[in-house]
Every structure is written in C-alpha cells, then in structure tokens.
Structure 1
C-alpha cells in the first residue's frame, strides 16, 4: 500500500477555533513525498486550540473510516455558527520495488452541519512527463441541497452507475439517506466504497485514491486523546494502543486485578507487551514488563479464556525475579506503556500517522525531548503531538513547532527567522513575556495582582460559607 501523509490542515468554526491553518513540516520540504520522519508539535496556553486540533483529527479519522460521528457532530460547531469546516490535504506515494510508481495530491473537505455532512474530494496524479501540466480536479462532491441528487459530477455518476432512474442509483440514494441519518460520511461509507469497487475500472485514477485514503485511515492513522488517559489517572486500567502487520487498535488491561481475554487473542497481546518491554527497559533502565498467565476459565459466551495480569519484573539482591503489579508504578510509566507500541510503529513505518494529545503528561521532560529527537533524526513515520513542556523546543527543528495565538481567526502560527544558533525556547518565552510585534500574539497576558486579589476576595467569601452539622457529616462521607 502507498505511503500517505497529511500535508496541510485547515479548520473553521470548529469548537473554539474560528479559523486556523497548519502546514506540516513535510510540506516545507523540497520533495513533499519523501518518506522520512515528520514531527509536528503544537504549543500554547490553556484553552487556545491545541486539543481542538487533535479533536479535528479524531473527527477526520471517524469520517474516513465511515463510522458514526454521532451526537458529537453538533458539538463540533462553534457556538453561534451554523456549520464547521474541515479541509485536509494528503500526499500519496506509491513505491514499486523501491522506485516511485506514482505520486498523488489528495484534498478532502467536509462541512459539518447539525444534521448533514457535505463532502468533496479533489485529487491529482502528476504526469511522469515534466512538460505535461497536471491540474487538481474535483472527483466527487456530495451535498444535501437536493434530495434526489447523489453526487457530482453528474458525468461521473452516469458513467459508473447509469441513468438517474437505474436500480444502482436508487440504491445510492438510500445509502446516502442512511449515512445522513447516522451522521456518517457518504463518500467513505463501506456501502458506497463497495458499490464503487464493483462499478469502477481497474487502475481508475479518479476512484483508486478513495480506497487508498480509506485503508490508511483504518490501518495506519491513530489518534490518542488525552481524555483516554482517565483510566490511568484513576488507577483503573491501561489502554494499550498497538499496531502490527496484521492488526491494529487498542486493548485495555486492568491495573489492580487480573482479567480474562479470549484465548485466540493471547498471542497478539503477548507480542505487544513483549515489544513494549524490550524498548521500555532502554528508556527507563530496570523497568521490564511481563504478562503473567494465571490459568484458563470459561467466559460469558462459553468460550475458553485465559486469565492474565500485567506486571513488572524486579531482580532481587539474591538473584531471584520478583513480580510486582503495575498498580504500584508511576503514572508516567503507565502512560509510556500505553502509547509506546504506536511510537515504535511510527518510528519504523513511514505509513503511520500518530497524533497524541498532551504527550508530555507524566513523562520526564529530558526523556520526552530525547524521544522526539530520536524520532525526528532517524524515524520514518508522521507524529503529531501537543505539549506544555518546552524542552522539545530545544531538540526539534523550528519547522516542527507550531504555536497557538490569541487571534481566534488566525489560531496557528510559527516563529519565523529562527537561525541555527537561536534557541527556539528562549525566543518563545521572550515573545510570551515581552509581547510580539506581530498582530497575532502568542499569549493572552494575565495580571498577577488581579489573580491574587480575586483569590483574597473569594477566600473571605469561603469563610462565610456555613454548613449544617448533619449536612457536613454527609459531605465528609460522600
């Protein structure tokens, strides 16, 4: 399968971002199709649009996988607006025995309303002949203005599925209505892609890119949201994200007790934990994970399962090995365990795109900077992350860092004119403290005196809060 990379992203009226655009580091290279590491870090103050961008990537993955956006559709739209807009540009590189078979540029646009998702797909496959110009064109456009219309261009619809009254076109109309009702993408729905596969000619440059992007979204595009770490913070479980040659996804292992999994999944869980442990012991010396098997038992469906528990192996002074449940480890080790398999995949595989919200949560800052430096210098995949830890600003290239601004209609920016001898971290802190000469400031200044005054005022009010004795007893035990 080809190597797919996100090159550019633009969001409008999405959550707390009125407008924002990000060009990825690979988009600044001489060859945007080069299959080398591509690292993008997003920095800024709280509530300035970092997590919003990761959420936009999560919605993108949901749409490209043909899954339901659900009630989140209305939550995506900024307050007071009728619709939100997402536009993502991809590069597609197909290699055949090491040589380039073809390159493509692919643009997916989605307009999210409270009840509909309007979409368009544009693509161009540049000619191998330099003199022959290639122009990007609209392949499919699906709107919900007319009930009987399926998609445009009409010529493409007629050539693939026949006249307006044919049985296949009527089936497409039903599929479109079903996708609208379930808040799913029509162009990337499994139903439409199957009909498209059956109707299109082999090696159709207008149709093939849709299957390439859909396959990328299902097998090589991963988004890890910060709210997924709630299980770790509560010491309830570790969601282990993984990707192998044959499978990808997430499984959850309880931290404080054993769990039973289907026996046919035991091998892949063992492989994932073993892979994580081999790298984890190099990142954090002395930390070795093991999957303890505690026997078999029947599951609710009547099938045989294997009871397992995730633990850490410790070497005692007498040379014996001691196992300790992972519940006694730090939150940072649990967080690294949760994401490490995908980081390994992104390091080794140029087809992987991995987005992580608040990557620095619980991770030692020097270790974080070194991990990012390793991925940028010798990795192959695409990594997108948000962070509050500023140390990576000293280890990554300036093109790999994007800052949020105080300007809601121009939310993302880069610091320009960064020389090789400049320290990007110092430049950023200087702009935060002293202000920026640009219209879009990087920090909305707070007044220390006003904060202290507000705390004093509220403190006096708190002293006047009285709770009845019986109510106080209920609160203390509740």
Structure 2
C-alpha cells in the first residue's frame, strides 16, 4: 500500500433522524495538494435537535459498514419516520506517493418488514497524477435489485475478472453472502479478498477500497454521546480507546464499574494498562 493517508472531505446526510438534507465540509476540502501537510479541526454547533448527534452517529454506522460488519439494525431508529430510505455520502481524499485520489462513497438504506438493508452503494473516484486529473466516475455500483449483474460498470468487472473466469463466480458468491449477512458488498470480507488481489487493470480501484477499509479499521475513531449519560450517572466509567499496537492497532469501548470491584481477564487487563499509560502521557 505504501504511504497512504486518508482524510475526510465532507459528509452528507439525507433522512437521518431530523436531517432531511444536510452537509458538513472540512476546512481543507477544496485544496488539491498532493500531500496533507496540515491538520483539520471542524467544530459543529447548533440548537438541540439541529443534527449534531446525527453526524456523530452517522460516522459510527459508516465505520461498521466500511469494515464489513453486519448492518447495525439500530439504524432503523435513525431513518426519518416519514421516509422509507435514508442516505449517507462521504467524500474522501486519499494521498499516495505523488498521486491524489478524490473518492466518494454513497450508501442508500431501505426499510423492509423486518429491519433495514443496504439497497445501493457505490464508489466514485477521480485520480490526480502527473499534472492530470481524470473525471470523477463511478467505478463500483452495487444495487440489490439488479440481480442480473454483479455490479456496474461492466468494464470494471471485466478488468477484475481478466482471463480467470473463476473470479466471476467468486464475485457472485460474495454478493450472495453479503446480502444474506446484510453487510456491504463492496467492503464485505468475501468481496475484499477478491478486490484486494493485485490485478494490474483494477489496481487503482483496489488501492482505493483497501485504503478506505484500513482507514475505517484503524483511524476512524468515533466517541458517541451515549457515553455522557453513563458518566453522569456515576456508576460506570466508559472509555473509548484507540491503541497503536502491532500492524492493525486496537480500538473500541471499555467500561469499568465504579460501584463494585471487577475481575478482568488477561486481555482486558492488558488493554486497561495501555489506556492508563496513554492517559498518564
């Protein structure tokens, strides 16, 4: 993968909680430098019910989707009651060695009788290299209702398959597994194994998918407001943690009861020690 850095450019929500259509844009979104030399901090403020929490929770769901997890069915409570679907669109910049990828990931969720499914997801990309910028075109478009194709455009499928027709069958099987598991087809485990293979025709797009997966796995760190209620109640101390460890690192939630002693297994004790060391820094 080389030296890859992923930065969020913008986030758009439609029919998420009380946000009919809203967008946040990062301060450096319009810069097209080939290196991310500056950090960004974006503060979001507004009245109660204006959508601040919706943004944080959208990142939480987005993180799970891009890491290939089963769709969290609690998202049904976030889809506007008057709507049957909702949308999240995240724009990213992926900085590589003398190349900049401008990437968009769009997801459409639909309510069904027993929950929520990913109705459609697609990735588009523009590549900036050697002073030239390609058009921003969709390179992977999965639509659940289009059962006659694995994904569109067919040109990208052909590039991925090449002369190995077994890959086409693997793509079909991966799609069926993703739909049964109710996870992303693009980022699902079985699909990733195919997309990450070094194929010269599909190489640039493989880099994009791999970079977004790594970003969600290692660097997208979401602390939800649900923690604040537990802290105020003063009986449980929740800690959202991120630990740089080995190649993948480790992140998640760790809760420590405050009203009684607690027995930890070795793994949790080691994690707690790492958290304490970070706090003491």
Shorter-chain TM-score range: 0.7 to 0.9
- Give the equivalent residue in structure 2 for 1:23: 25
Is 1:163–1:169's contact at 8 Å kept on the other side of the alignment?
no
Cα distance in 2 for residues equivalent to 1:64 and 1:123: 16
Shift of 1:220: 0.5
2:274 to 271, 277, 289: 271
- Give the equivalent residue in structure 2 for 1:448: none
**1:3-18 alignment, distance < 5 Å:** 3-18=5-20
- Coordinate RMSD, CA, aligned: 2.5
> Which shifted more, 138-147 or 192-201?
192-201
Residues 362-385 of structure 1: CA distance to partner in whole angstroms, max 9, x if unpaired? xxxxxxxxxxxxxxxxxxxxxxxx
**CA 54–12 in structure 1, closer or farther in 2 if over 3 Å, else same:** same
Structure 2 residue 221 is the aligned partner of structure 1 residue 218: no
Shift of 1:167: 4.4
Shift of 1:277: 2.6
Is 1:107–1:123's contact at 8 Å kept on the other side of the alignment?
yes
Is 1:172–1:192's contact at 8 Å kept on the other side of the alignment?
yes
Cα distance in 1 for residues equivalent to 2:64 and 2:270: 28
**CA 70–147 in structure 1, closer or farther in 2 if over 3 Å, else same:** same
Q: Number of aligned pairs?
A: 270
Cα distance in 2 for residues equivalent to 1:103 and 1:267: 39
Cα distance in 1 for residues equivalent to 2:32 and 2:103: 18
- In the superposition, the TM-score normalised over structure 2's length comes to 0.86
Q: Which runs of 5+ in 2 are unaligned?
A: 112-116
**1:153-192 alignment, distance < 5 Å:** 153-161=153-161, 166-192=165-191
Cα distance in 1 for residues equivalent to 2:276 and 2:198: 43
Shift of 1:126: 0.6
**1:192-207 alignment, distance < 5 Å:** 192-198=191-197, 200-201=199-200, 204-207=203-206
Cα distance in 2 for residues equivalent to 1:136 and 1:236: 51
Residues 357-406 of structure 1: CA distance to partner in whole angstroms, max 9, x if unpaired? xxxxxxxxxxxxxxxxxxxxxxxxxxxxxxxxxxxxxxxxxxxxxxxxxx
**CA 18–205 in structure 1, closer or farther in 2 if over 3 Å, else same:** same
Residues 271-306 of structure 1: CA distance to partner in whole angstroms, max 9, x if unpaired? 32022034xxxxxxxxxxxxxxxxxxxxxxxxxxxx
Shift of 1:268: 4.0
- Give the equivalent residue in structure 2 for 1:111: 108
1:262 to 250, 262, 265: 265
Cα distance in 2 for residues equivalent to 1:159 and 1:194: 16
Cα distance in 2 for residues equivalent to 1:223 and 1:154: 36
Structure 2 residue 254 is the aligned partner of structure 1 residue 251: yes
Shift of 1:195: 1.7
Shift of 1:183: 2.7
**CA 28–148 in structure 1, closer or farther in 2 if over 3 Å, else same:** closer
Larger relative contact order (Cα-Cα within 8 Å, sequence gap ≥ 6): 1
Q: Secondary structure at the match of 1:25?
A: coil
Runs of 4 or more off by more than 6 Å in structure 1?
none
- Give the equivalent residue in structure 1 for 2:228: 229
Cα distance in 1 for residues equivalent to 2:18 and 2:35: 32
1:101 to 98, 103, 121: 98
Structure number with larger C-alpha Rg: 1
